[in-house]
């Protein structure tokens, strides 16, 4: 007997400089995977980081972005997908005015990290530019989910 995972459209959340929606939580998949939809504006780059023990698949829904890994970069546009392998440092940059993508992580954990470190969005739109962040709190939460921050936003592997 199969069990369908049907959830209503998740609430919009402000996560770092992104608009995020957690579509599939690890709690609903026995920890096997999670799916987060993200949107960002031109130039958006999170801190350089590595997911220990987690593969992250990026699937671009709208716009263009570049993924940077040690010694390589991959340019993606709507309809493209790319896997950032577990234990490999990476970071992305939004290259178009805005971009929207899915982050599929296996096993789950990134979904819970996003929920813990984000806040409900005041509006269903990108957060205000220049919003303040607490890098130490982000790093501390990341460590609980196997995410190690290796450098500030804009740093490349």
The confidence score (pLDDT) of residue 2 equals 45
The confidence score (pLDDT) of residue 1 equals 37
What are the boundaries of each domain within the chain? Answer: 13-120
d(CA 31, CA 146): 14
The matching CATH number, chosen from 3.40.50.11540, 3.40.50.300, 3.40.50.2300, 2.60.120.10, for 13-120 is 2.60.120.10
The confidence score (pLDDT) of residue 130 equals 83
Q: Are 147 and 49 in contact (CB under 8 A)?
A: yes
Per-residue pLDDT of the chain (157 residues; tens, 9 = 90+): 345 555 678 999 999 999 999 999 999 999 999 999 999 999 999 999 999 999 999 999 999 999 999 999 999 999 999 999 999 999 999 999 999 999 999 999 999 999 999 999 999 999 998 888 899 999 999 999 999 999 999 999 9
| pTM, two decimal places | 0.92
The confidence score (pLDDT) of residue 6 equals 59
The confidence score (pLDDT) of residue 95 equals 98
| Residue of 47, 16, 17, 45 whose CA lies nearest to 150 | 47
The confidence score (pLDDT) of residue 8 equals 72
d(CA 70, CA 89): 7
């Amino acid at each position: 007997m199969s069990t369908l995972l049907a959830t209503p459209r998740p609430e919009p959340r402000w996560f770092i400089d992104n608009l995020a929606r957690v579509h599939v939580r690890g709690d609903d998949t026995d920890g096997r995977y999670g799916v987060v939809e993200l949107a960002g504006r031109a130039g958006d780059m999170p801190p350089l980081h590595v997911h220990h023990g987690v593969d992250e698949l990026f699937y671009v829904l709208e716009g263009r972005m570049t993924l940077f890994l040690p010694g390589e970069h991959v340019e993606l546009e709507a309809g493209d997908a790319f896997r950032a392998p577990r234990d490999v440092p990476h970071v992305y940059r939004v290259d178009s005015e805005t971009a929207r993508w899915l982050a599929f992580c296996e096993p789950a954990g990134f979904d819970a990290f996003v929920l813990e470190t984000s806040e409900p969005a005041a509006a269903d739109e990108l957060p205000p530019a220049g919003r303040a962040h607490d890098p130490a709190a982000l790093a501390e939460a990341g460590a609980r989910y196997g995410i190690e921050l290796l450098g500030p936003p804009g740093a490349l592997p």
